Amino acid sequence: MVVESLLLLTILFTAEPNLSPIAPIESTDLDQGSFALEIGGQIYDWDVLARFVMPGESLRIKIIRKNLKGNFGWACSGGELLPVDPFEKVWVAPQESGFYPLMIMNRSIKTINLFVMKSFQNLQRGRLNQYSIGYYPKSPSPHPKLKTPEGFIEATAENESTRLSPNFVLKDFICRQPGGFPKYLVLKEELILKLELLQEKIRDKGYPCSKLFVFSGYRTPRYNTGGGAGRHSAHIYGGAADLFVDEDHDSLIDDLNHDGRHNSRDSKILFDIANELDMERPDIVGGLGWYRRVSGVGPCIHIDVRGKSTRWRQ
């Protein structure tokens, strides 16, 4: 709470003139409830989330009250907030790409970390601002929900640790190819949601999992081709993650079945839990791969949000 409060004060005193002022809060009308946010038809109880938009794009944000009374304060560090009603606004992204946190405050604070992306049209000869991305396939993507990106998120040394959800930050998904900042990536919000739900489900099954270890998120087409993966890999569209549970931080999957080994039986446990999640949430269904061993990593699984159920074993 202290960090968020300091950030709120920073926004208030350093933001551009189009900052939406904080409405006064009538503390006598408030109780101990909380609130959630509805964005894009999805309701989030998280204290922090992220959205990736194009310049000038509009984003509708609705407050879902839970026994809360009184006013809500809204503050953004850029763009424009247009009122719909006291509990709903439309944020219009600025034309300049960058990072624009937005905060909503009542009893608690919700932070939406907004990234305005660089247009795909800025990609010239496979490079964006000297960062090598490569070439996207000319043939259409075979994945219903994963298409050639409209834009790229700019990752910098200053923003790479920005939280995208309760457990994941931007650098968890940056391509592992060599190169300095700025770096660029594509990332689907649905993938972040799926990772959070999978992590919660793993814990509900009784397995320790403070945070899933994502060792491969976004891959540039250049990096992806070098690894021998398919031309239309879900990774190049920002919709996939390769992962395992690593609570002891030894860079190996944990011994989830307690047989004294770190092997494919442990990754099969994750595969089964992820498969169960897909059946429960068809809105984020996707590919699911069970890997007995990946060079330099060991047993793991692949999940994605391609929009159709695909299963494989390798």
Last residue of a domain, one of 97, 116, 135: 116
Which amino acid would we find at residue 54?
M
Nearest to 173 by CA among 200, 149, 147, 192: 192
Q: What is the pLDDT of residues 131-164, one digit of tens each?
A: 999 999 999 999 999 999 999 999 999 999 999 9
CATH classification of the domain holding 230? 3.30.1380.10
What are the CA-CA distances from residue 84 to residues 22, 66, 229, 274, 286 (Å)? 16, 20, 46, 38, 35
Which pLDDT score is estimated for 108? Answer: 86
In which element (H, E) is residue 37 found?
strand 34-39
Report how many domains make up the chain: 2
Which pLDDT score is estimated for 107? Answer: 81
In a domain? residue 163: no
Report residue 295's pLDDT band, with 50, 70 and 90 as the boundaries.
confident
Q: What is the pLDDT of residues 228-267, one digit of tens each?
A: 568 999 999 999 999 999 999 999 999 999 999 999 999 9
Length of the chain: 314
Domain interval for residue 69: 2-116
Which pLDDT score is estimated for 16? Answer: 36
23 shares its domain with 59: yes
- Using an 8 Å Cβ cutoff, are 58 and 67 in contact? no
Which amino acid would we find at residue 201?
K
For the residues 62-75, what does the mean pLDDT come to? Answer: 84
Q: What is the pLDDT of residues 7-57, one digit of tens each?
A: 444 444 333 333 333 333 333 233 445 899 999 999 999 999 999 999 999
In a domain? residue 170: no
74 shares its domain with 199: no
133 shares its domain with 253: yes
Which pLDDT score is estimated for 227? Answer: 56
127 shares its domain with 244: yes
For the residues 102-112, what does the mean pLDDT come to? Answer: 93
111 shares its domain with 184: no
Distance CA(265)–CA(287), nearest Å, equals 20
In a domain? residue 69: yes
Percentage with pLDDT > 90 across the chain:
81
